[in-house]
Every structure is written in structure tokens, then in C-alpha cells.
A and B are shown apart, each in its own frame.
Chain A
Amino acid sequence: MSLFLVVALPFLGALLPGLMNSAGRQACAVVTFMVSLLALIGLLTHLPAVLAGELVTARLDWMPMLGLNVTLMLDGLGFFFACLILGIGLLIIAYARFYLAREDNMGEFFTYLLLFQGAMVGIVLSDNILLLLVFWELTSLSSFLLIGYWKHLPEGRQGARMALTVTSMGGLAMIAGMLLLGQIAGSYDLSVILQNREAIQASPLYLPALILILLGCFTKSAQFPFHFWLPHAMAAPTPVSAYLHSATMVKAGIFLMARMWPVLSGTPEWFAIVTTAGLITMVLGAVIGLFKHDLKALLAFSTVSHLGLITMLLGTGTAFGAMAAVFHILNHATFKAALFMSAGIIDHEAHTRDIRRLGGLRRLMPITCVIASVAALSMAGIPLLNGFLSKEMMLEEAWHTTLFDSHWLVPGLATVGALFSAAYSFRLIGHVFLGPVRDDYPAKPHDPGPGLWLPPALLVVLVVAIGVAPFLAEPFVKLVTASVLGTAAEVPSAYLKIWHGLVPALYMSIIAVLGGLLMLAIFNPALRLWDRTPRPEAKVIFEAIIAAAVALARGVIHRLHNGAFSRYAAIMAVTVVAVAYHAWATGTVGPVTRAPQPANALQIAGWLMLVAASCALALLHRNRLLSLILIGIVGLVVSVGFVYFSAPDLAMTQLTVEVVTIILLLLALNLLPNRTPVESSILRRTRDTVVAVAGGLGAMALSYHYLLRDTVAPSISEFHLANSYKGGGGTNVVNVILVDFRGFDTYGEIIVLGIAALLIYALTETLLSGPVRARLLNRKPDKPLAGDMHPMMMVVVARVIMPVVLMVAFYIFLRGHNEPGGGFIAGLVASIAVVMQYMSSGFAWTSARLRYPYHGVIGAGVLIAGLTGIGSWFVGKPFLTSDYTYVRIPPFQEFELATAALFDLGVFLAVVGAVMLSLESFSRLARRARVPEAEHPMDIDPSREMPDPKTAGV
């Protein structure tokens, strides 16, 4: 199976459970399981190639100019992580099916889970680091959704927010680091970067890049000092915790450190930062974890601690350390996922995760007890379990590591970490499962069905299998280690085995286990001491920082954005004028190249009308009906101006748009107050006048200078004029540009128009289903209504004229390619024909006779235009290439058939639909506010049979 498909499957599959929610919980879970299984099988088909040491790649250019390509690569490391993600994912899906309660939305959960799974697989298979960043951010987002899945819990929301804040801040830093790295290496492809170890480490940008990338890794993998988000993310449902915090999300940072290991490691900087952070995290997490009473919090801090351990191993920069890290990633994923799932079982059955309220569960939940105890013993590092093996290797590596010139620092701290790790593991077993059976559990605990215990049990089988027979895992671990090391180092020859002889690591291990038992024995006094010690609480600090940032942002934003929109408009106008003036004053303006043309009386008359109408509008705008008339005059003069200046198409469009706009505004004015009250002071009006005059003068100066000069470069219009007939088959150049040369623009524009109409429709629906509906129904008209709502004269005229207008629209449409006209204008004219029926005969009468809903008309228009464009693909031409031919059907004359006409038909339909849908929505609003609809389209109709007054009473 193609690597693309392996990555894409979870994303594609993520659509399914969300859509299948109504099919039931079982169906959702099965579909999710099958999707993951399919992806895993797809991955496994590459197993032979990976085992043979080959590099499986897949490449698709996305944005080559930016260096961003969809290049995927599968090597041992990627295969290992992808297996963990998909394999443990399968177990989690099965577990979640039985864990989630009936009231939880299962489709939503599995959709998020698959999104997350896809993003994780994307990270581990990316060859391009920019692509990797995209997936990296996707994991932050999808884990936010998963952690906050229980939206009703405030802890869930806060934990999700904190996780998102911390990990996405780290993600930002990492973007910068990756860009630097790409700059140094000259490529964003990992396979190239990994070959450039010397060049990268010698670069002066190495340290900044390293620090930024490590910030990303540390935040994701919860390393000190960013460890605090992980325990708070435990508010998530347990399947999420088990998945995100054992095998996947927190391992992403570890993965990246391993991936970058060949180029970034081995320097003193790497060693100092990574080893120190890892050591501190390991010890801190283990100590805090011991004293947590919440089972999941204990596991969370133990995860923090084990991640620190792995980080430290990667930090040492030796091949043996890398091998130990790989082995521990595998072991930790198995026992920790099993432990999280066991904690979930206990929570599910006993209704509490508080260790202080548990105990004695070994008799009540024997299966869970076995599973959890084996996993916990592995975590403690007890021989014959897999945790022991990698812990031994860690201690061995620590024994040889010298940090800050001290031979004892690393081994000592590593032993302390291991000691506390053993202690909390023993506490988990001792305080939860051992001890007397209590009689005050919140619910009666008992073992769950196999759906819940089987997934962790499978993992525990692995724990024991690897622990007893480490040689089974050895080839695989060495294979993965080889791909971590790359060309930087040789795979160590050491074997994975249980007995290494009396080496220092064994003594350290014995100290840790005995110390752990001792800690458990003195747990109560230690707890009292711990509770008395003052400690900084990370959540409080985090919230204080967030509060300070919010206060700062609020201070700045509220000062700028105080909700006074007219102030924004004034500031913007002044700024534009000032910037333009600055450009004018400092730049140079070319000489006048066009002679001003003389003005005649006609032009002056038109100008006077326009100026008079617009000035009157500004002065008399308080009378809203009058201002509608005045703006109509302005629109008419502009249309006439278009005719005069050789733009017949524009004039026709402007004229028809003017008609529908005025009707629309009239409909709105029906519901709005008729007058604008005087509110602003003289001072304010003066200020606004000054701003307006400045803006007007600026626009005027710009236009005047523009009109008297030629363009600097030759315009492309010559091309359009020359090719309109030859290439587009039409003599109306404007129309040919619209439907042919720039058809793609037009296509976008009709879509925008359609969206605007749908938006208006949606707003109307929202208004009519909300409280506005009641208000409209109770509304008293504030202006007297005409007694005769549908005058007979008007009804008759409108109906008679309807076919005539439609014929005009048809004519305008047909001739559009060669004479002024076209789909836009024809659409507007046809809409006017229908609007006239609405106005004369009433809403109810007209809509009852309407055969097609306007949404459908818009959709048909966009579809026809789009299909016309796609049609050119079938003859091997780009989208929207047009063609035309001349045909002759006797007895008609020869006429032209062009695909552009079909496209224009789409435009026509979209315009009709959009205009009508908007006007219809407005009139629906108005209709709610009115007295009941008249029974007949004409109030007085001589043809209607009047009821006989004599028989009516019988």
C-alpha cells in the first residue's frame, strides 16, 4: 500500500464515525477499528523492505518553490513509531468502545481520535520537515479536542487549553528552528539534512536552531520546565490518556530528538541541555509522582519521569544510549498503556481513582490486579519483565556518563530516579490492590467484561514476553537503532539479555528496588514531610502568566478597539489620506501626457445633477425615504455617464442593479425607522465634514492626475481587443473578457454572489426562528398602509409585461457575446420581471406559483458554469478554455454556437437565483410583520364570483 494511503487513511476515515453517529456506538467503533487496521496492514506490507534495510519513499510536489513537498519516508524508526501508534491505537479503540458512557458522543470521539492518529502517523513518516511541522501542529490541535472531549468538565477544558498553549508555543519555536535548519542544510528534506552533520554543527546558526527545536520537543514531551501540562491533561477520558500519554503524543518530541539525533547530537551543547533536562525531569517526575493520590496523576508524573529518562539517554550522544532509548520507548509504551487502561478500569468500576479510598482490590478485581501488577512491576524494573532490561541499560549508560566534571552526578541521580520510580510502582500495587478489603468504596468494584481488560492484557503479554526472551526483540531494536544512528555511529554490538554479570548497573538496580520498598514502608511520615514542604505550584504560575498576558492584551486592545465603528472609519480615512499625501509629497509624478478634453453643456448638466443629488443626500439623509430617491438619482447619472463614456454594458448593469437595490432598501426600510434622529453635536459633524472633504479631495486629486497620464507600461487591453473575435468568437470584448479571458474570475464571482445570497437566507432563518419572530408578529406598522394592497391596474400590467420582460432578458442574453448584454444583465432583468410579480400580486401568490427554489437555481448556475469549464479537460485543454463554431439550421441564418454561451447561462442562473433569494428573504421578514396576507391577489376583482348575500347566510 502506498505510504500516502497509510497517512491519508486515518484522515479520510475520520469523516466516517462522525457521520455514522446515528448508526450506533458499535458501528462507530467498528468503522474506526477497521480504518486503523487497514492503515496498519498497509504499513505492514512494507515490513520486508524495512527489514531489508531499504528506505521506502513516496513523493508528491506540493509547493516546490517553498521547499514544501509531500515527501514520505519509511525507515526503521518511522516504522517502529507508526506500528506503536497504529497498534496501540487499535487496542485503545476497542477499549474506548466499552469505556465511554452511553451519553458520550462516540462518533465525535472517534473522529478526533482518527484525526490525531493520522497526524501522528504523518509526523513519523514525513521526509520533509515543513510537512512534519504541519502534522506537528495538527497533533496539537487534535489532542486539544481529545483532552477537552468532556466539555462539561472545567478541568477538561482548562487542561486542554493548557496543553494547547504549551505545546503550540513550543511548536512555534520549532517552526523557527526547522526553518533555520533548512537554511543551513539548503534543503527541507530530512534525507538531505541527515547527510549534512558537519555543515550543520559547524554553522553559527546551529545553537539557535538546536535550542528552538528542543523547545518544541521539550514542550511536546513534557520535559522540565514544561512538564506541568501533562498531569493536567489527565482530565481527559482514560482512553485518551492511555493513547496520548503512553505511546503517541508525548513520544512525538522523543521521536523528533531521535530523528534529528544524527545531525544534532554529539555536541557539548546538545549533551548539556538534553541530558540535564532529562535528568531533572526524571527525578522530579518520580518524586512528585510518589506523593500523588490520584491514580492517573501518579501515572502522569511517572510518564513525565520516564520521558525524562529517555531524553537523558538520547542526550548522552552515544550509540548505546540511543539503543537503550529505543528499547525503553517500546517497553514504556507497552507497560504504561496497560497501566493507564487499568487505572481507567478501576475508575470505571470503583467510581474513584483516589488511592486513599482504594485498597484490597486483589480479591474483588483479580484480573485487573494481575494485569496492573505485572505492568507496575515492569515499571519498577523487576527482572523477567521488559522494564528491567531497559532500566539496566539506562543505569549502565548513566554509569559511564560524566556531567559537569562529576562522575557521580549522573549515576547518583539516575539511581534516585529509579528508586522513586520503584517506590511509586510498589505504592500503586500496595495501596490499590493489597491490604484489607474495604466496605466504603463509592461503588462495588468487580472485574469488567473482556472488552475492557483484553486490550491491556495483550500488552502485558508483550511485557512478559520481551522480559523473558529479550532476544526476540533484539533484531528489531537494533534495526530501529540503526536508523536512529544513521551514518553518525555504528550500532553497538551489545546484546539484550537478562544477566550481564555483576556490573555496576546491577548494584544500582538493587539499591533502587530495595530503596523503593523502604520508601513504601516509611510512606506515611514521608507524605507528612512532603505536605509540609512549600512547593511552587506550576498551574498557579502558568495561570498568573496567562492572566498577565490577557490583561496586557486587553489593555492595548480595548484602548484601540472600543466598539465605536465610526471612530475606526474616521481613523482609517485620515490614515489613508495621510499616507497618500506622504507618497505624493515625497514621490515624483510624471508629466501630463494627455490633453484634457473640453467639456460641453451636456456633461456639465450631468455633473451638476450628480453633485446636487449627492450633496443633498448628505444634507437631507435624516429623511430616509428621500435619501433613497436621491441615491437613485446618483445611480442613474452614473449609468448615463457609463453610456456616454463608451461603456454600454456597464450602463445596463448599473441600471438594473439600481432597480433591485432600491427595491431591497425599500423592503428594509419597511421595518426600519423612517427618520434618523439628530444625535451628533455640531462639533462632531464639523469634524466628520473635515475628514470627508479631505478624503474627497484626495480621491479627486488622484483621479485627475491619473486621467491625464498614460500608464507606464503598455496595457494588456490591446491583447484582448486583438483576440476577442479571433480567439473568443465574440465582438463584444467586455463580454468575451468576462466569459472567456477572465472566465475563472467570473466563476469565482458568481460563487461569491451565491454565498452572499445564502448568507442572507441563513440570517433570515435565524432571525425568524429566534425571539425576533415574536417581536415581528407583534409589531405595529409605524406608517399607514395603503388600503388597496394589490391595485388591479398594477397586477394586470405586471402580468402582461412579464413575458415581454423575460423575452427582453432572453434577447439580451443571446446577443451578449457580440452586442452589449450577457448573462449578468439578462439575469438582473429576469429578476426584475419576477420581482414585479411579488410587488403587484403579493408574496403568497407568487411563491405558490414558483416551481424551483432559488437555492437550486444558484446551485444549477454554478454547476453549469463549472461543468462547462471542466468540459475543456476532456479535450486536453485547461479549465474554462472556450470553443465556438458556426452552424446553420434551415430556415434560420447561420449563427454562432460557443461554449462561452453555456458558461454565460451559468452566470445568468446564478445571478437570478442570488438576487431573488436575497429579495425573497427580505420580504419574508416583512411578511411576518404584516397583517394576514390578502386572500386573493387582487382586492377588487370583477371576474371573481361574489358570494350571494342571500345564500351565504343559510
Chain B
Amino acid sequence: MEFLVASAIGVLTATGLYLVLRLRSFPVIMGISLLTYAVNVFLFASGRLTVGAPPILGDATSYTDPLPQALVLTAIVISFGMTAVVVMIALGAYLGADDDHVNDPPPPPDGTTPAEDAQ
């Protein structure tokens, strides 16, 4: 069971990383989402894996670790906010320049940068 969770985290990380390294903004956002899953599951797993012992106090004798759950819960909500901001920026960039490349275009061969501060 531990191996399954660990390898799932690994697969999510790997695919997330691969997509983050793509050149267009949309796959990069997908990649960030996958990495978010990986990180959230990893943080959750730091409470170790327990089946059938939710941290709802009752008659049970043992409960799973509640702290990572609380941390991950807010992380999930915050990651929504982050995704939304990133998507907005990507959208704004695409609509503004009609180009959804992640990387800046290579500089012109004469080596000047466009935003030179006029003395």
C-alpha cells in the first residue's frame, strides 16, 4: 500500500514536471496542477497511511494524524486561488500578444534589449 501511494506521488511528479517543461502556457498550467496534487498527497502522507480511522472523535481507540489533513485542506483551497491567478495571467498574455509561449522570444542578434532605460 505504501509503495502504491509513493509510486503514485512519483508518477504525478514526473508527469507534472514533463508538462511544466512544455512551451505553451496551457500544458504548463496542467503540469502545475499535477505537481499540486503530488505535493498535497505527499504532505498528506506525512501523517502516514491509516485506513478506517478518520479524526472524528468518538468511540474508536486510535485516530489518524489530523494535522497534515488540516494543512492540506487549506493548501487545496489556496492552490485553487493560485491556479486561477496563473490562468488569468496566461490568458492576459495570450490575449495581449496573441501568443501563448511561456518563454520570451530570443533577443535580436545585435544584442540590444528593448527596455533600455533612457538616461
Chain A 304-326 interface mask (CB, 8 Å, partner B; 1/0): 00000000000000000000000
Contact B56 A707 (CB under 8 A): no
Chain B 43-87 interface mask (CB, 8 Å, partner A; 1/0): 011111111111111100001111101101110111111111101
Contact B88 A707 (CB under 8 A): no
Contact A725 B9 (CB under 8 A): no
Q: Which residues of B contact A441 (CB under 8 A)?
A: none
Which of A158, A672, A680, A734 contacts B73 (CB under 8 A)?
A734
Query: Is A596 interfacial (CB-CB < 8 Å)?
Result: yes
Contact B45 A671 (CB under 8 A): no
Q: How far is the CB of A292 from chain B (nearest CB, A)?
A: 23
Check A634/B12 contact, CB under 8 A, given A691-B21, A696-B17, A763-B89: yes
Contact A638 B41 (CB under 8 A): yes
Contact B63 A721 (CB under 8 A): yes
Contact A646 B1 (CB under 8 A): no
Q: Which residues of A contact B81 (CB under 8 A)?
A: 752-753, 756-757, 914, 918
Contact A696 B11 (CB under 8 A): yes
For chain A, residues 658 to 703, give those with C-beta under 8 angstroms from any C-beta of chain B: 660-661, 664-665, 668-669, 671-673, 676-677, 679-680, 688-689, 691-693, 695-703
Contact B66 A563 (CB under 8 A): no
For chain B, residues 10 to 47, give those with C-beta under 8 angstroms from any C-beta of chain A: 10-30, 33-34, 37-38, 40-42, 44-47
Cα–Cα, bound, A820→B25 (Å): 36
For chain A, residues 518 to 565, give those with C-beta under 8 angstroms from any C-beta of chain B: 558, 562-565
Cα–Cα, bound, A650→B72 (Å): 7
Q: Which chain A residue lies CB-closest to B55?
A: A733
Q: Which residues of A contact B72 (CB under 8 A)?
A: 647, 650
Cα–Cα, bound, A634→B13 (Å): 12
Contact A661 B14 (CB under 8 A): no
Which of A607, A691, A760 contacts B88 (CB under 8 A)?
A760
Q: How far is the CB of A823 from chain B (nearest CB, A)?
A: 10
Cα–Cα, bound, A630→B79 (Å): 19
Cα–Cα, bound, A819→B72 (Å): 18
Query: Is A584 interfacial (CB-CB < 8 Å)?
Result: no
Contact B19 A679 (CB under 8 A): no
Q: Which residues of B contact A599 (CB under 8 A)?
A: 1, 3-4
Contact A611 B11 (CB under 8 A): yes
For chain B, residues 81 to 103, give those with C-beta under 8 angstroms from any C-beta of chain A: 81-85, 87-92, 94-96, 98, 100, 102-103
Cα–Cα, bound, A763→B73 (Å): 27
Q: Which residues of A contact B34 (CB under 8 A)?
A: 614, 617, 631, 634
Q: Is the interface of A mostly helix, strand, loop or mixed?
A: helix
Query: Is A503 interfacial (CB-CB < 8 Å)?
Result: no
Query: Is A789 interfacial (CB-CB < 8 Å)?
Result: no
Q: How far is the CB of A755 from chain B (nearest CB, A)?
A: 8
Contact B21 A566 (CB under 8 A): yes
Cα–Cα, bound, A39→B24 (Å): 59
Count of B residues near A, CB < 8 Å? 90
Contact B78 A753 (CB under 8 A): yes
Query: Is A352 interfacial (CB-CB < 8 Å)?
Result: no
Q: Which residues of A contact B56 (CB under 8 A)?
A: 648, 731-733, 818-820
For chain A, residues 604 to 648, give those with C-beta under 8 angstroms from any C-beta of chain B: 604, 607, 610-611, 614-615, 617-618, 621, 624, 627, 631, 634-635, 638, 641-642, 644-648
Check A721/B103 contact, CB under 8 A, given A607-B8, A708-B2: no
Q: Is the interface of B mostly helix, strand, loop or mixed?
A: helix
Q: Which residues of B contact A766 (CB under 8 A)?
A: 92
Cα–Cα, bound, A43→B64 (Å): 63
Interface centre among B37, B91, B104 (most CB of A within 10 A): B91
Chain A 586-607 interface mask (CB, 8 Å, partner B; 1/0): 0000000010111100011001
Chain B interface: which of A104-112, A742-750, A878-886? A742-750
Query: Is A893 interfacial (CB-CB < 8 Å)?
Result: no
Query: Is A197 interfacial (CB-CB < 8 Å)?
Result: no
Query: Is A270 interfacial (CB-CB < 8 Å)?
Result: no
Chain A 4-19 interface mask (CB, 8 Å, partner B; 1/0): 0000000000000000
Q: Which residues of B contact A41 (CB under 8 A)?
A: none
Query: Is A915 interfacial (CB-CB < 8 Å)?
Result: yes
Contact A610 B8 (CB under 8 A): yes
Cα–Cα, bound, A512→B64 (Å): 91
Contact A627 B21 (CB under 8 A): no
Contact B67 A720 (CB under 8 A): yes
Check A598/B57 contact, CB under 8 A, given A566-B23, A650-B69: no
Q: Which residues of A contact B28 (CB under 8 A)?
A: 566
Q: How far is the CB of B23 from chain A (nearest CB, A)?
A: 5
Which of B6, B79, B119 contacts A700 (CB under 8 A)?
B6
Cα–Cα, bound, A645→B11 (Å): 19
Q: Which residues of B contact A914 (CB under 8 A)?
A: 81
Contact A707 B52 (CB under 8 A): no
Contact B10 A657 (CB under 8 A): no
Q: Which residues of B contact A715 (CB under 8 A)?
A: 65, 67
Contact B119 A158 (CB under 8 A): yes
Q: Which residues of B contact A598 (CB under 8 A)?
A: 1
Cα–Cα, bound, A653→B58 (Å): 22
Query: Is A922 interfacial (CB-CB < 8 Å)?
Result: yes
Q: Which residues of B contact A631 (CB under 8 A)?
A: 30, 33-34
Cα–Cα, bound, A915→B79 (Å): 12
Query: Is A872 interfacial (CB-CB < 8 Å)?
Result: no
Check A646/B51 contact, CB under 8 A, given A631-B30, A706-B46, A776-B95: yes
Query: Is A724 interfacial (CB-CB < 8 Å)?
Result: yes
Q: A563-B105, A641-B8, A757-B84 are in contact. List 4 more A-B contacts (CB 8 A).
A: A563-B107, A610-B12, A737-B66, A767-B92
Q: Can you name 19 A-B residue pairings with CB atoms under 8 Å?
A: A563-B104, A563-B107, A570-B21, A635-B37, A641-B8, A645-B49, A646-B55, A650-B69, A650-B73, A671-B94, A679-B24, A691-B17, A697-B10, A703-B42, A706-B45, A731-B58, A760-B88, A818-B56, A922-B84
4 pairs of A and B residues whose beta carbons are closest in the complex = A696-B14, A700-B10, A563-B104, A756-B81
